[in-house]
A and B are shown apart, each in its own frame.
Chain A
């Protein structure tokens, strides 16, 4: 069934590319971009599928057992824009255009210095004849990398300035996963690109499985009273688990370790191992950043992105002048 469904997606991808995009590339003299654009169509197609699935599966949960109800949902509509520009490939395309040449330059330089990055199955040879197991190993390693990137986002003031764009949402829903500043997305790509230089990239045979991981990330932001219990929340990140991470209390002092918890994206084992795991059956805390309210939080996409630039500038000014940026609340007594 999955094979047949994937076959349909392949034909849709090919048709969109051949009829809508290849003619444009040809007439614009951009035929050297053919393969990248073809891959981009696949990204957008699977992204649209992931969005549709997330809405179909998780919106009923939000209606059934919401943590919060709101009369005014403008901030939620902004998150829908965030989701679409990310999952349909607009932001990834921009980042690719900006960063790919840099990545190629660095990778190419490394080849002339004699370094060729290995793939995991070349380092762990028993994996070689088991591509799905290799894929899962990559997912685990990349999830570990994402855990530490997330820790740094909360630990470094200038990075928190960008990451606060994600955390300032007080109406967290299934749409909130992609609520990120474009510079933060760029740093994420640099991070994953650096990992790729060390361990290669995952096998390409499992695009439908990748959707599953994206669905987990959407579910973890869903506005629903749903937890996996104490044992389950040590196995898989869920809505309750991740809501505790988004707690407005924890964002009050984001770069104090004792105030941050539940940084994992997919696998809470990293929180368990590194001592940042927290479970509280009763708590479905309010989300957001205490010092960030009003239009700067409930605005549209472009204004929100500009707000992120403003916060970054303030954080850098603070580093230089030691002047306290406005988005860092006065530290409460411990």
Chain B
């Protein structure tokens, strides 16, 4: 009954048109915060080390990766009721292939990548990979997963069916977030520097580098595919890019170690976790102004916004 109480309270109230609900994972607090009306309405113990969460392909479930308690927690997205816990080894970052056939988990602390059946969550392959496999992206044809290796400054390509490594290449110091562009190339946040790198998925060649800000970390693309946001975790900013040209169109202030992002349902607000200051920043995109910072638990990381 993770969020049920908070959800029930909200569903029973009159919800303004602009109201946004956010679920935030407090990775050092072992808890989940629910934010409503820009206020934390609940903080619930969930288990050890919740870092990232994603929605299931059918949109009905939130899946939370619990690296410390070695499990995936599946929660009904509407009611907030916990549906299932699946044992998994140190899942840090997780993702489904575009066709939902594969589910991949990266174990940052224990240096392995797990490939599961996307329907049954049966473990199919466990690859030792060094070191610090971090964030995950997929090829558009769902044949390949790409994982950044924070500890060895690399990027790896993995064939999902066979569980074999296609290649590992250096990509820059401490690569973190990764995203697949519509044309198939990859963008990598090179957190140890001030840029993102566009990478050829065929062989890992760096095509070009775009300077965004110190500690380029993670990505968020708008649903219409026109805009790309990049958190610069050291600089405390978010770069706004034209998703087509990768030209920087704006820079937003996001103090406190901006990490993971989510858009409000109406697309007017950008919600971003402030990793070092236990808050969630809400930025009004039309003006670029920081609207508010919502206090949550320690080291907030993954965020999901309704």
Contact surface of A with B, Cβ cutoff 8 Å? 7, 10-11, 13-15, 17-18, 22-23, 26, 29, 31-32, 35, 38-39, 42, 104, 107-108, 111-112, 116-117, 119, 122, 129, 131, 200-201, 203-205
B198 proximity list for chain A (CB < 8 A) = none
Chain B residue nearest to A207 (CB atoms) is B298
B21 within 8 A of A: no
Chain B residue nearest to A111 (CB atoms) is B89
A17 proximity list for chain B (CB < 8 A) = 276
A29 near B256 (CB under 8 angstroms)?
A: no
Knowing that A11-B278, A31-B191 are A-B contacts, what are 6 other residue pairs whose CB atoms are under 8 Å apart, sorted by A's residue number? A10-B277, A32-B150, A104-B109, A107-B109, A200-B68, A204-B298
State the majority secondary structure of interface residues on A.
helix
**Bound-state Cα–Cα, A57 to B256, Å:** 35
**Bound-state Cα–Cα, A139 to B90, Å:** 23
Chain B residue nearest to A100 (CB atoms) is B109
Closest approach, in angstroms, between the C-beta of A257 and any C-beta of chain B?
38
B110 near A205 (CB under 8 angstroms)?
A: no
| In the complex, chain B residues 215-268 whose Cβ is within 8 Å of any chain A Cβ | 215, 234, 236, 256-257
B111 within 8 A of A: yes
Q: Jot down 23 A-B pairs with beta carbons below 8 A, ordered by A.
A: A7-B295, A10-B277, A18-B256, A22-B276, A23-B234, A29-B173, A29-B192, A31-B173, A31-B174, A31-B191, A31-B215, A31-B234, A32-B132, A32-B151, A39-B28, A108-B110, A108-B111, A111-B112, A116-B87, A119-B69, A129-B45, A131-B30, A204-B49
B79 within 8 A of A: no
B69 near A204 (CB under 8 angstroms)?
A: no
A203 near B45 (CB under 8 angstroms)?
A: yes
A203 proximity list for chain B (CB < 8 A) = 30, 45, 48
Interface residue from B69, B236, B276 paired with A200 (Cβ < 8 Å): B69
**Bound-state Cα–Cα, A42 to B28, Å:** 10
B269 within 8 A of A: no
**Bound-state Cα–Cα, A26 to B299, Å:** 19
B29 within 8 A of A: yes
B276 near A205 (CB under 8 angstroms)?
A: no
B157 within 8 A of A: no
B182 within 8 A of A: no
B192 proximity list for chain A (CB < 8 A) = 26, 29, 31-32
A14 near B295 (CB under 8 angstroms)?
A: no
Contact surface of B with A, Cβ cutoff 8 Å? 28-31, 45, 47-49, 68-70, 87, 89-90, 107, 109-112, 126, 128, 132, 150-151, 173-174, 191-192, 214-215, 234, 236, 256-257, 275-278, 295, 297-299
A32 near B70 (CB under 8 angstroms)?
A: no
Using known A-B contacts A111-B90, A119-B69, determine if residue A205 contacts B31 with beta carbons closer than 8 Å.
yes
Chain A residue nearest to B257 (CB atoms) is A18
**Bound-state Cα–Cα, A200 to B192, Å:** 32
Interface residue from B110, B191, B214 paired with A111 (Cβ < 8 Å): B110
**Bound-state Cα–Cα, A22 to B256, Å:** 12
**Bound-state Cα–Cα, A256 to B30, Å:** 44
Interface residue from B47, B132, B277 paired with A119 (Cβ < 8 Å): B47
B45 proximity list for chain A (CB < 8 A) = 129, 131, 203, 205
Closest approach, in angstroms, between the C-beta of B116 and any C-beta of chain A?
14
Interface residue from A10, A112, A119 paired with B112 (Cβ < 8 Å): A112
**Bound-state Cα–Cα, A191 to B6, Å:** 41
B275 proximity list for chain A (CB < 8 A) = 38
A204 near B278 (CB under 8 angstroms)?
A: no
A42 proximity list for chain B (CB < 8 A) = 28, 298
A104 near B111 (CB under 8 angstroms)?
A: yes
**Bound-state Cα–Cα, A18 to B259, Å:** 14
A39 proximity list for chain B (CB < 8 A) = 28
Task: Identify the 8 closest CB pairs spanning chains A and B, nearest first.
Answer: A31-B174, A14-B276, A14-B277, A131-B45, A108-B110, A31-B192, A111-B89, A10-B278
